[in-house]
Amino acid sequence: MNAYLWVSDEVQKAVSCNRPVVALESTIISHGMPYPQNVETAVRVEKMIRENGAVPATIAILKGKLCVGIDAEQIEYLGKKGLAVPKASRRDLPVLLSRGGDGATTVTTTMIAARMAGIRVFATGGVGGVHRGAQTTMDISADLEELARTDVAVVCAGVKSILDLGLTLEYLETKGVPVIGYQMEELPAFYCRHSGFPVDYRLNTAVEIAKAIHAKAVAGLIGGMLIANPIPPEYAMPEDEMNACINRALAMANERGVKGKEITPFLLDAIKTLTEGKSLAANIQLVLNNAKLGAQIACELCKLK
């Protein structure tokens, strides 16, 4: 096994016995939500995966190792340290691992560790993408490159609505990443169910999605697959309201000179304030919804192997 990879006994056994496993990121714990909601949500997400027949594998960098399947104590540690834990993307791994440091895994690094451990499905909130104004800033999330190169299916509530959704879809098309809408022909926009942008394919069941993932693997096609699962209607936020909040949050970030890896947590926090906490509640529900679908897909995928 990779010297920088640690996998829990439960996850190792599940993978080796072809039992369903769903990977989970840790940036949502340390950077995505305040304490204690972050820890409470992480525990609820793991429970949701178990209730739907799969093994959860929360991933983080701890003491210089990519840890797959961390326990409740380690989740609590990440939650309490919060922003003090570095947000780790692919470029950060060599230094963090060599120094024996900690890190919260993004979509990118969670995909990397999941692939190393043999996990094929990963559930998260929303993926990164092409930032608004990227025509001049070239601010494009490493998540898109990882989707193009790493064979892990990512279940999410679409692309974060703070981004340029149209350009993100164009980028994914160029990289050959299939964008699947779960029971939707339109890309969901994180807090909102609708964006106005069409997905590549609509698939209506976990069975259909699992068959597509399986066919891709058997055909030897490299790269991941993006499964866009809309937030449940009862928790969705009105598009006009969210767009107004996002525009205000972007203006605040511009005024304060917030850039790079700090921009997403800043915007999410600003939007939470502007929506009086409604966006945080929606965020929690969409993550739970994605965990449920991720577990269902993982279960169906194991039947095909």
Closest CA to 304 of 50, 52, 20, 16: 20
What burial class does residue 138 get, using C-beta atoms within 10 Å of its C-beta: 0-12 exposed, 13-18 middle, 19+ buried? exposed
β-bridge partners, 62: 65
What burial class does residue 257 get, using C-beta atoms within 10 Å of its C-beta: 0-12 exposed, 13-18 middle, 19+ buried? exposed
Identify the sign of the CA torsion 69, 71, 76, 77: negative
CB 114 within 8 A of CB 68: yes
Give me 260's structure tokens. Answer: 């790079």
Give me 65's structure tokens. Answer: 């190792």
Which residues are annotated as catalytic? 25, 160
